[in-house]
Amino acid sequence: MGSGSELPNQKRQFIKNIERVEPILFSRNTDEDVAQAVRTDGFLGDDGEPPRHTTSAIRLDIPPNMRNRTTSSHQPTSAIPPRRQQVQTKNAPARPATPRPAPPTQKKPPERSSSKVHWLLPVGVAMVILVILWMVGSAALAWGKQRLDDIQYGNPRTYQTDKVVGHDDGPNNPSHFVAMNLHSQIIVIEFMGGNPQKAITYLTPVFISGPNSDLAPVTLEFRDVNGDGKPDMLVHIHLSGQDQVSVFINDGKKFRPSNASDKITL
């Protein structure tokens, strides 16, 4: 019973002691009060903030915002400075962008001046071209003339005509003449009065020489060249670039080659 009566008395005594304890009042100091208290200590930290106490106790009279600043000031800093961020206000004028320099242009190498051509070179080339054209044109003209002679005179070259010359002939039976270039020799055959039995052959005193001499055409012409009133026979040999004429004089019965005594007027 005695122990049971003491226990309640002890409880009552503990309650009384608790009631006598005065509550601790924390003052809400402002930042100015803290700064004033720090200045009274005599120094500030390197970053302008009060230094951290060596004790591990936390001061309750410092506001929470100051606690964070105090504890975070001693965090290890990096050797690389932080990047500055440019904060542009709404009212601040925009900084004009600096123009970038244009890339250097590569200079073109100077063009080499073309050497002047001497005036003799185009003249010489033109002359060579003209000579070639002349040679080609001459060859083409000769070839065309030969083809025309083949059509007109045949091969061997032959010419025929009828003419009244007074050798047993007349208007109703003229004499027939055939002239040909046979192996570069001119031969004229006369059929007196058109009668083959009275044929007579004349050879010109000219022998044609040179390339394609057997292709030269031959023609006949009849007219008085010595003034005796009888038609004489002229043999025309058409050579390249010129005509050669052989004259035969009419003596009334046949033709004979002309001589120096004959007064011939062509």
Q: Are 221 and 238 in contact (CB under 8 A)?
A: no
The number of beta carbons lying within 10 Å of the beta carbon of residue 236 is 17
Q: Are 93 and 99 in contact (CB under 8 A)?
A: no
CA-only gyration radius of the chain, Å: 73
Per-residue confidence (pLDDT) for residue 43, from 0 to 100: 47
Per-residue confidence (pLDDT) for residue 224, from 0 to 100: 94
Beta bridge partners of 178: 160, 189
48: left (phi over 0), alpha (psi -120 to 50) or beta: left
pLDDT tens-digit profile, the chain (266 residues)? 444 455 556 555 555 555 555 555 545 555 555 555 545 544 445 555 555 555 555 555 555 565 555 444 455 555 566 666 554 555 556 666 677 776 767 666 666 655 688 888 999 999 999 999 999 998 998 889 889 989 999 999 999 999 999 999 999 999 999 999 999 999 999 999 999 999 999 999 888 888 888 999 999 999 999 999 999 999 999 987 788 999 999 998 999 999 888 888 88
Quick one: tokens of 30? 């402002």
Per-residue confidence (pLDDT) for residue 112, from 0 to 100: 63
Cα three-residue angle 87-89-94, rounded to 5 degrees: 90
Per-residue confidence (pLDDT) for residue 194, from 0 to 100: 92
Distance set, CA 169 to CA 4, 131, 243, 262 (Å): 205, 55, 30, 25
Quick one: tokens of 162? 């009828």
Per-residue confidence (pLDDT) for residue 195, from 0 to 100: 93
172 DSSP assignment = S
Nearest CA among 134, 179, 163, 181 for reference residue 223: 163
What phi and psi, each to the nearest 5 degrees, are found at residue 148? -70, -40
**Coil vs helix vs strand at 159:** strand
Beta bridge partners of 188: 179, 202
> For the whole prediction, is pTM greater than 0.75?
no
